[in-house]
């Protein structure tokens, strides 16, 4: 959506008095300013490993490596730098997941999965437990690729990790997570009695 708005404004020479920004920029800014008080302490002992998918539309086609750096800063802030494993290649050179540009909804499931094998092999090479997929299309494609490999990794939204690190991720918002994250920082009212 961000790419579409930026490209549409440019292509159709639409006069506007605003700048199109991405939420990753704001998350990174707010974390740096101490306004978004995320914490990675929850993962110090668990040592759950994470990698991140660089969405094509946001990184390569829109904002480039600076937004990829913000994305890594956010992920490392919420999971711990020592628990982050980068894919190779990465940032503007990262491989497409194979689900973008409408391919996810196109109905060509076998072709999409075959193309996505490059991404799946890249994720597997990291040996990460989770792939953070901040784009909805990337998330659905990468989750599907994991299903095809009998859940070799779990797929997680960026906002889920941010909420988990803030201690505000509810039990009902964890249903898609692996068992290793389902109870992290969950407040059980009965334990307060």
pLDDT tens digit string along 27-78? 999 999 999 999 999 999 999 999 999 999 889 888 899 999 999 999 999 9
**Distant-in-sequence, close-in-space partners of 26: CB < 8 Å, separation ≥ 6:** none
Q: What is the mean pLDDT of the chain?
A: 91
Is pLDDT at 192 greater than 80 in this prediction? no
Which residue, among 81, 48, 73, 27, has the nearest Cα to 185 in the 3D structure? 48
In the three-class reduction of DSSP (H, G, I as helix; E, B as strand; rest coil), residue 171 is classed as: helix
Alpha carbons 113 and 120: distance in angstroms, whole number: 9
**Distant-in-sequence, close-in-space partners of 148: CB < 8 Å, separation ≥ 6:** 113, 120
Domain spans of the chain, in order of start: 2-186
pLDDT digits (tens, 9 = 90+) for 100-139: 877 888 888 999 999 999 999 999 999 999 999 998 899 9
Host H or E run for residue 6: helix 2-11
Phi, psi of 177 (to 5 degrees): -80, 165
Instruction: State the pLDDT at residue 2.
Output: 75
Architecture in CATH for domain 2-186: 3-Layer(aba) Sandwich (3.40)
Per-residue confidence at 193, pLDDT binned at 50, 70, 90? very low
Could you tell me if 181 and 164 are in contact, meaning their C-beta atoms sit under 8 angstroms apart?
A: yes
């Amino acid at each position: 959506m961000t790419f579409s708005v930026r490209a549409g404004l440019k292509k159709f020479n639409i006069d506007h008095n605003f700048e199109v920004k991405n939420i990753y920029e704001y998350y990174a800014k707010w974390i740096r300013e101490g306004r978004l008080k995320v914490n990675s302490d929850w993962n110090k002992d668990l040592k759950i490993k994470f990698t991140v998918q660089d969405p094509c539309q946001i990184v390569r086609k829109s904002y480039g490596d600076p937004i990829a750096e913000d994305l890594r800063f956010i992920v490392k802030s919420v999971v711990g730098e020592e628990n982050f494993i980068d894919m190779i290649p990465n940032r503007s050179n990262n491989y497409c997941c194979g689900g973008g540009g409408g391919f996810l909804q196109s109905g060509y499931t076998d072709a999409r999965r075959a193309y996505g094998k490059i991404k799946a092999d890249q994720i597997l090479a990291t040996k990460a437990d989770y792939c953070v997929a901040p784009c909805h299309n990337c998330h659905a494609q990468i989750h599907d690729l994991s299903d095809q490999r009998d859940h070799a990794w779990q797929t997680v939204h960026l906002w889920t990790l941010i909420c988990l690190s803030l201690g505000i991720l509810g039990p009902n918002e964890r249903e898609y997570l692996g068992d290793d994250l389902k109870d992290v920082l969950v407040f059980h009212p009965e334990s307060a009695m």
